[in-house]
Chains A and B, each alone.
Chain A
Amino acid sequence: MSKPIHFITKNFDKYDVSSIGSYMNIGGFDALKKAVTMDGEDIATIIAEAKVKGRGGAAYDMGRKWSQARAVIGEKKVVICNADEGEPCTFKDRELITKDPFNLIESMIIAGYTVKAQDGYIYMREEYAHLRPLLLNAIRQAKSYGFLGTNILGKGFDFNIHLYSGAGAYVCGEGTALIHSIEGKAGRPRMKPPFMKQSGLFALPTCVNNVESLSIVPHLLLDDKKEYQSYGIGESMGTKLISVGGNVITPGVFEIPFGTTVREIIYNYAGGIKEDRAIRLIQFGGASGKVANADILDIPYTYEDLQNSGVIVGSGAILVIDERTSVIDFLRATQAFFSHESCGQCVPCREGNRHIKLFLEKFAAGTATQDDINAMKKIAKIMAMSSLCGLGETAQNALVSAMKVFPESFAIGGAK
């Protein structure tokens, strides 16, 4: 295995996560001090030059996002850190919050400075409630050291951070559902437009970023030698946190340079498959991600190569499932998840999920017909095209990709 890389994870285990002094001793808040001497547009440019794409799953160009957020006219603006990491098999943000909470706080302040926002909100899933004290402490200490509050570092810039908790709703990872949740309502998504950047939380211009996306920023600002840009290939520049789980020997979060092959990720980083079993399927990007078979092992992990192989980076999750689980059983589990998490507002998602479930049961029982296959494809397509939000649009990603990669599992009368 090549030498482990620590760029985003540079601070892991290097300081006492309950102490701001300890964080400052390893260069903490140096990036913020540098940022406030810069023009916000230049900060966005640094991010754009490093080609950072949103790490929550949508992979939107982050430098562009900040530049756009900055350009929006508004007396008050908001930045949100989306820590509602709910995709099954995704736990990289948990590691970032656990091992480097101050860096997240610092990056939010930089985000606030860049886009000219006064308030930052961290929306963290309830399942990570045990990390709340860590973040609350970090916010409190940052405030008492003058990194939060009014006239930060004497630059006349005011910024505060508020920590909000989710309550077990996967759909709240979707931007508009998330803001409803912070507003004290049920987290149901709404139609767009208006887009978040113009009218988001409390109808203010809002810039939402994933934990990992934010966490890169302080490191990039201090990266004078352009170390980050030396990693990766083409448009997939730099490094990425991935979370590998399933039937691997050492599941966990790893920082890899883009371009590492899937084989190296699974067999070196994650220790290979338990009892050396054969791989049935690999799902990339969480439950809303797509699946591949073992043919993908020698493909480099980059945005472009994965896309050309029919899968996506998504949330950075890599779920490896061995030969003991059938494709249909895997899909039924994924299906059950989406049926449970659909908010029920729009018909395509609410009803579509139910129908797909019935079809999959038929496949499991070996009683599916060609008509069922046709209807299933049609419903999956309708869901992708006409659901209200990303949940319904992506719920059948696994199914549609599996139908392409594993046609034998959908053979009429075939129960496997």
Chain B
Amino acid sequence: MTVEAKKRLAHLFDTTKCFGCGACTVACTATNSPDLMLYEDPGWHSLATNIRRVEFNLRDRPGLLLVQCQHCESAPCVKTCPFGAMYNDAATGLVKLDERRCIGCSYCVAACPYNVRWKHPKTGLPMKCMGKGCEQLLAVGQLPACVQACPVGARAFGDLNDPGTEISRRVRNGRTVRLLEAKGTKPNYFVVV
């Protein structure tokens, strides 16, 4: 279900700036999963982080892309959840989980075409951006950990409904794509290319 949000919070990732330092990826773990510092996600063989690194082995121009929850307006995970645990937050548009309703069936993990969800090994809850640590940062007026971490400003986060925000300006002025738009997900993750 698509909800008319007061805000439309979105992420921006700039491939023309990212130099693959991994700061955002590690900062995500430190901020959102300090209980899983030495954990390896068996699905992705990854650190307990909400960010995935994808390298494109193109002949003319090898490319690097960091992917995380796209906070889709028409999110497959929201549609798929049998228990209504996944929802678009009315105030921000962010895709969130109501833990009280989640039984850990992992349908949402399987449904995500971006393959950016993983399962907490102890609670069984589906994990993704934004994690609890970043939600706390937002609550005190901070940017998410990955945006703060980036040494080259390859990331932005903010309200697309406000034309004065950094992300609005960069989406407006830059050349951006959204990933897998053909899936009808209406992602709120903009990639500068």
A binds B: no
> B residues touching A (Cβ–Cβ < 8 Å)?
none
> A residues touching B (Cβ–Cβ < 8 Å)?
none
